[in-house]
Amino acid sequence: MKILFASPEIVPFAKTGGLADVSGALPKALEKLGEDVTAIMPKYQAINDKKFGIEYTGKNIQVPISNRIEEAKIYKSQIPNPKSQIPVYFIDKKEYYDRPYLYGTTQGDYPDNAERFIFFDRAILETCKILGLRPDIIHCNDWQTGMIPVYLKTLYKDDQFFKDISTLFTVHNLGYQGLFWHLDMHLTNLGWDIFNPDGIEFYGKMNILKGGLVYSDIITTVSKTYSEEIQTKEYGCGLDGVLHKRKDDLYGVLNGIDYEEWNPATDKYITAKYLKENLSGKWECKKDLLNIYGLKPSKELPVLSVISRLADQKGFDLIGEIIDELMELDIQFVLLGTGEKKYHKLFEEIGKKYPSKAGIKIGFDNALAHKIEAGADMFLMPSRYEPCGLNQLYSLKYGTIPIVRATGGLNDTVENYNPLTKSGNGFKFAEYSSTKLFSAIKTAVDFYKDKLQWNRLMMNAMGEDFSWSHSAREYVELYRKAINKRTKT
Q: Which residues bind ligand ADP (CB under 6 A)?
A: 17-19, 21, 307-309, 336-338, 364-366, 369, 388-391
218-221/250-252 β-pairing: parallel
CB 314 within 8 A of CB 384: yes
CB of 206 to ligand ADP, least distance (A): 24
Query: Which of 209, 135, 145 has the alpha carbon at shortest distance from 176?
Result: 209
- Cβ proximity to ligand ADP, 19 vs 482, nearer residue: 19
CB of 160 to ligand ADP, least distance (A): 38
Q: Which residues contact 131 (CB under 8 A, 6 or more apart)?
A: 57, 59, 74, 89
Q: Which residues contact 44 (CB under 8 A, 6 or more apart)?
A: 13, 14, 97, 98, 99, 102
CB of 228 to ligand ADP, least distance (A): 19
CB of 271 to ligand ADP, least distance (A): 18
- Cβ proximity to ligand ADP, 71 vs 260, nearer residue: 260
CB of 308 to ligand ADP, least distance (A): 5
Secondary structure (3-state) at 255: coil
CB of 388 to ligand ADP, least distance (A): 6
104-105/108-109 β-pairing: antiparallel
User: Helices 280-292 and 366-375 sit at what angle, rounded to 10 degrees?
Assistant: 130
Sign (positive or negative) of CA dihedral 119, 140, 469, 487: negative
Q: Which residues contact 165 (CB under 8 A, 6 or more apart)?
A: 134, 135, 136, 137, 138, 152, 486
- Cβ proximity to ligand ADP, 404 vs 445, nearer residue: 404
CB of 386 to ligand ADP, least distance (A): 7
- Cβ proximity to ligand ADP, 66 vs 467, nearer residue: 467
CB 133 within 8 A of CB 127: yes
CB of 408 to ligand ADP, least distance (A): 10
Helices and strands in the chain: count of H runs, count of E runs: 17, 20
- Cβ proximity to ligand ADP, 200 vs 319, nearer residue: 319
- Cβ proximity to ligand ADP, 212 vs 409, nearer residue: 409
Secondary structure (3-state) at 327: helix
CB 339 within 8 A of CB 306: no
CB of 371 to ligand ADP, least distance (A): 10
- Helix (H) or strand (E) holding 226, with range, is helix 224-229
Query: Which of 345, 256, 347 has the alpha carbon at shortest distance from 29?
Result: 256
- Cβ proximity to ligand ADP, 60 vs 338, nearer residue: 338
- Cβ proximity to ligand ADP, 79 vs 445, nearer residue: 79
User: Percent helix, strand and coil across the chain, each rounded to 5?
Assistant: 40, 25, 35
- Cβ proximity to ligand ADP, 282 vs 314, nearer residue: 314
- CA neighbours closer than 13 Å in the CB half-sphere of residue 359: 20
CB of 192 to ligand ADP, least distance (A): 34
Residue in the shown chain whose Cβ atom is closest to ligand ADP: 18
- Cβ proximity to ligand ADP, 360 vs 457, nearer residue: 360
CB 136 within 8 A of CB 479: yes
**Is residue 436 exposed (0-12), middle (13-18) or buried (19+ Cβ within 10 Å)?**
middle
